[in-house]
Amino acid sequence: MCGAEDMHNENKSVPEGTPSSSSLKAVVGVLGVSTVGLLVATIVLAVQKGNAPAATSTAGGLCKNPENKDYGANKCSGMRPDWPNTECVVEGMGEQSGANVTRGYNGQKSTDVVPITTPYREKGLCPVNVHWHLGAEHYSKGEFDENGKGPVEFHEGRIGFQCSYYDAEDEKFTKPYDWEWCIGMTVGQTYEIHWPHSAAGECNSPWQYQTPFYDGVFCNLDESAISTLSRQDVASNVGVQSQTFVVVNDEDYYYPDLFTGMIVDQEEGKGIDLAIYTGSTTGTSRSNEICSPFNPITWQVDRTCHLISASSFDKMCQQMESQADNMKDDLYAHGSRPLVTDELAADNHVQRKRKGRTLL
């Protein structure tokens, strides 16, 4: 049975015209770097409007599989292209993430690519995964930066920037939580959640959510259509939402749906002040010497830090385990990539504040 609670977040529904196996004409994706130079990652979608399948879920395609129902073969499995990381000094290497997202910042890497500045759902993208990083991979001065703090505990993986909310004298930051689903999580710690989106995902189906997320992003990749097309096509069809939280043991900060996308709440200032730019995939296998070939993709980053209850995270992990493609390998915090240098950050940062559900 598919479905979800009707929550106010970025991906409450997928619009008419979302790509499906019947309407996807061509998905082009070449994202590697080779000895002859950088191949450009491109996704080209020609959607027959009105031919999208009937939605099997709400809230961005949430489709649970609590009884391990047999949905047949996972068509997205193994769809990640085998493109290795490459030295950042290679000519033609594209812009990287995570970057500084402080209001007013702009990178120094010249790019003619324009990021998506409207909600992804309006462009036919759907969320294909959710995962998070230990600390923040992005940097937002005064929100998650070098002055942040958190619990002094051993963590596997590199820790990124922290928010400044942590107070060792306040038990909501220190009282242990009995985690049932998430693995290795710590109350009081900062985590940056990522929701990868793609117009080539298996939207509105039990296989929409995938681990690893690359399988979801490239699920409907047509190998015969691979070519070196526009970089702009990539950034217009692949994007990530990013939002940073400090986990607290306090139900006053409970939110019932972290699974399907960024929280948008005008009154609480969640998902309102955004930095939008083009960059790359992240993670600890990349640095300022070794870069990701998966670029350019759009990033929409909430530059404000928020508090969230541990139970909200745990519910998200429960939802992840109940997907058709069990997401157990994303139930823990991944390590954080070091902040990319100005030279690797794109010079196309867009400053946006949201009014209601509209980007201004």
Q: Cα dist. 321→51, 188, 329, 333 in Å?
A: 30, 24, 9, 15
The CA distances from residue 260 to 9, 60, 97, 171, 236, in Å, are 8, 6, 22, 29, 20
The pLDDT assigned to 11 comes to: 63
Measured CA to CA, the distance from residue 45 to residue 220 in angstroms comes to 10
Write the CA distances from 120 to 204, 216, 256, 263, integer angstroms: 15, 15, 21, 14
Rg (CA), the chain: 19
Q: What totals of helices (H) and strands (E) does the chain contain, helices first?
A: 3, 14
Show Cβ contacts of residue 256 under 8 Å, excluding neighbours closer than 6 positions: 5, 7, 312, 315
Q: What is the pLDDT of residue 352?
A: 87
d(CA 242, CA 302): 6
pLDDT value, residue 326: 87
User: What pLDDT does residue 356 have?
Assistant: 62
Gap between the terminal Cα atoms of the chain = 37
Residue 129, CA distances (Å) to 61, 161, 215 in order: 11, 23, 9
Residue with tokens 């709440």: 265
- Cβ neighbours of 212 (radius 10 Å): 17
Answer for the pair 237, 56: CB distance below 8 angstroms, yes or no. no
Tokens encoding 53: 């399948």
| Bridge-based pairing state of the strands 33-34 and 37-38 | antiparallel
Rounded CA gap, 109 and 103, in Å? 18
Predicted TM-score of the model (pTM): 0.84
Q: One digit per residue, pLDDT tens: the chain, 360 residues?
A: 343 333 456 665 443 334 433 333 333 333 433 322 333 333 433 333 233 332 223 233 444 555 667 888 999 999 888 889 999 999 999 999 999 999 999 999 999 999 999 999 999 999 999 999 999 999 999 999 999 999 987 677 899 999 999 999 999 999 999 999 999 999 999 999 999 999 999 999 999 999 999 999 999 976 565 455 589 999 999 999 999 999 999 999 999 999 999 999 999 999 999 999 999 999 999 999 999 999 999 999 999 999 999 999 999 999 999 999 989 999 999 999 999 999 999 999 999 887 766 665
Using alpha carbons only, give the angle 191, 320, 124 rounded to the nearest 5 degrees: 90
What is the spatial distance between Cα 317 and Cα 29, in angstroms, rounded to a whole number? Answer: 30
